[in-house]
Amino acid sequence: MATQEGSLHSGFAFRPVELTFGQKIWSINWALLLIILVIAAIGFLTLYSTAGGTSDTWVLRQLIRFGIGIVAMFVVASIDLRLWYRFAYAGYLGALGLLGVVEVLGTVEMGAQRWVDVGVFNLQPSEIMKLALVLALARYFHGRTEEEVGLIRWLFTPLLMIAVPVALVLRQPDLGTAILIVLGSLAILFLAGVRIWKFAFAGVAAAGALPLIWGYLHDYQKIRVLTFFDPERDPLGAGYHIIQSKIALGSGGLIGKGFMQGTQSHLNFLPEKHTDFIFTVFAEEFGLFGGLTLLLLYALVIATGFIIALRARNQFGRLLGLGVTVTFFIYAFINIAMVMGLIPVVGVPLPLISYGGTAMVTILAGFGLLMNVHIHREVRIPRRPGSVET
């Protein structure tokens, strides 16, 4: 095995392991950056149309946030992967602390406690937690052998690491973020090699616990679930969002109504059109072709994420890369499935397109981690600190 591995990587044998800052910047994945820029550009155009043909309402502020996000991406990408590894747990604890602060100080917005006002802008600790948890779980499973991963006792710690922030997020209450965190974490557990029968067992257990969970749901969440199954039960109330969104999408047809010509969005039949339902605005104006193009662009981002992760030479990077990628996928899938009436309405934005600062910065910072894995794909990290094993 050893010889085989040696020959496999012989091509990179002379590559310097330590890169300068400039080299790091130059060695980012340009293809990924290009796709991100294209998707973001689509977002700006859609926001411009949604605002009725003006940049003043949303586009300019969104551009500034995007700029901040891109800077964050480069900063995150250039910090040595081993530093991220070293401070993964500390970051996790910090994020957990922030989430706790939200419980105490959080300002109430849209009926939910999600924000901490840090002066310049509102900080959403649950967004930070998404990345911090991926880092922490990646570090944890980086240090586990295949046998250890197979044992149940090694699963208690990561499950606790997931459960505590999820519980805090649910208390706010923010079902969308909680679902994102749970699904993203489960993906990391899956990739790390946790036995598949355990997932099946957990699935059955979760199904059994559904009635219990139902009791803990807030009324508005219950209504959302009920209206998902039957939007017509209250066409002017809770079902209105889903119905109007489907009308907008369907009436877009094959090629759409044209840029700035979406009647459903421009005449305000569509709710939350610049945030959660922005995909609908886009697909109403550009039709099936537009919708599929955007879906394809997302698929390209995800595929690039897979390639980067698979090419990484360390388990931490692999888990981190795919953890970020899967989180991105879940964002896109839940949002698009929601506006098309496939799943209940949950407050999940469309990544890189929906108007909103924290989500944009979080996602771009996440891509920074992915770029980081790409840049540091040859870096080897010992399984245990001080261990000679690479």
Partner 1 sequence: MRKEGDREKIFTRRALMLGGGQLALFGVLASRMYYLQVIESDQYKMLADENRINLRLLPPLRGRIIDRFGAELANNERNYRVVLIPEQTEDVERTLARLSELIPIPIHERRRILRNSKRMRSFVPISVTENLTWEQFSRINVASPDLPGIQPDVGEKRFYPYGEAFAHVVGYVAPVSEEELTNDPVLQLPGFRIGKSGIEKTRDLELRGSAGNSRVEVNAYGRVIRELARRDGQIGRDVRLTIDAKLQHFAIEQFGDESGACVVMDIHGGEVLALVSNPAFEPNAFNIGLSRNEWQSLVNNPRKPLTNKAIGGQYPPGSTFKMVVAQAALEAGAIGFDHTVFCPGHMTLGDRRFHCWKRGGHGKMSLNSAIMQSCDVFFFDIAKRVGVDPIAAMARRFGFGEVLGLEIGGEKAGLIPTKDWKLAVTGVAWQKGETLNTGIGQGFVSATPLQMCVMAARLGGGGKAVVPRLIKDAEAVAAKGTTTGVGADSGFASLGMSEPALRAIRDAMHAVSNTPRGTAYRSRIKDQEFALAGKTGTSQVRRITKADRLSGKYKNKDKPREERDHAIFVAYAPSHAPRYAISVVVEHGGSGSKAAAPIARDVLLYAQRRNPLAARPNDDIAVLTTKSAGG
List residues near partner 1 by CB under 8 A.
1-2, 5, 145-146, 187, 190-193, 244, 246-254, 263-264, 266-269, 283, 287-288, 291-292, 295, 298-299, 302-303, 306, 309-310, 315, 318-319, 322, 326, 329, 333, 336-337, 340, 342, 383, 389-390
Taking the C-alpha atoms of residue 372 and residue 367, their distance in angstroms, rounded to an integer, is 8
* Rg of the chain taking only CA atoms, in angstroms: 22
Kindly give, in sequence order, each residue whose CB lies less than 8 Å from that of residue 76, ignoring residues fewer than 6 positions away.
365, 368, 369, 371, 372
Cis peptide before 271 (omega within 30 of 0): no
- What's the N-to-C CA distance of the chain in angstroms? 15
1 vs 118 by CB, closer to partner 1: 1
Task: Please give the structure tokens belonging to residue 358.
Answer: 């924290």
Residue count of the chain: 390
Shortest Cβ distance from residue 8 to partner 1 (Å)?
10
Question: 61 or 82, CB closer to partner 1?
Answer: 82
Cβ 96 to partner 1 shortest distance, Å: 27
What's the closest the beta carbon of residue 127 comes to partner 1, in angstroms?
22
In the complex with partner 1, the residue whose CB is nearer, 87 or 333, is: 333
Taking the least distance from each CB to partner 1, the nearer of 6 and 67 is 6
Q: For partner 1, give the closer residue by CB, 315 or 358.
A: 315
Token pair, residue 54, equals 């003006």
Strand partners, 123: 116
Give 211-248 as a DSSP string. Answer: HHHHHHS-HHHHHHHHHHH-GGGSTTTTTHHHHHHHHH
Least CB distance from residue 97 to partner 1, whole Å?
31
Tokens matching residue 167: 């519980």
Distance CA 333, CA 179 (A): 12
Do residues 276 and 260 make contact, with C-beta atoms less than 8 angstroms apart?
A: no
Q: How far is the CB of 57 from partner 1 (least distance, A)?
A: 16
Identity of the residue, 61 or 198, whose beta carbon is nearer to partner 1 in the bound complex: 198
Which CB, 225 or 302, lies closer to partner 1? 302
CB of 226 to partner 1, least distance (A): 21
CA atoms within 13 A on the CB side of 372: 29
Nearest residue to 342 (alpha-carbon basis) of 246, 274, 220, 272: 246
CB of 200 to partner 1, least distance (A): 14
What DSSP element (H or E) covers 116? Answer: strand 112-117
Alpha-carbon distance 353 to 59, whole Å?
11
Hey, what amino acid is at 73?
M
Place of tokens 């698929």: 299
User: What is the nearest approach in angstroms of partner 1 to the Cβ of residue 318?
Assistant: 5
Report d(CA 33, CA 70) in Å as an integer.
10
Cβ at position 358, least distance to partner 1 in Å: 25
Q: Which is nearer to partner 1, 70 or 308 (CB)?
A: 308
Q: Give least dist CB 322 to partner 1, A.
A: 6
Q: Which is nearer to partner 1, 154 or 333 (CB)?
A: 333
Q: Which is nearer to partner 1, 294 or 361 (CB)?
A: 294
- List CB contacts of 30: < 8 A, sequence separation 6 or more: none
Position 339: which residue type?
Answer: V
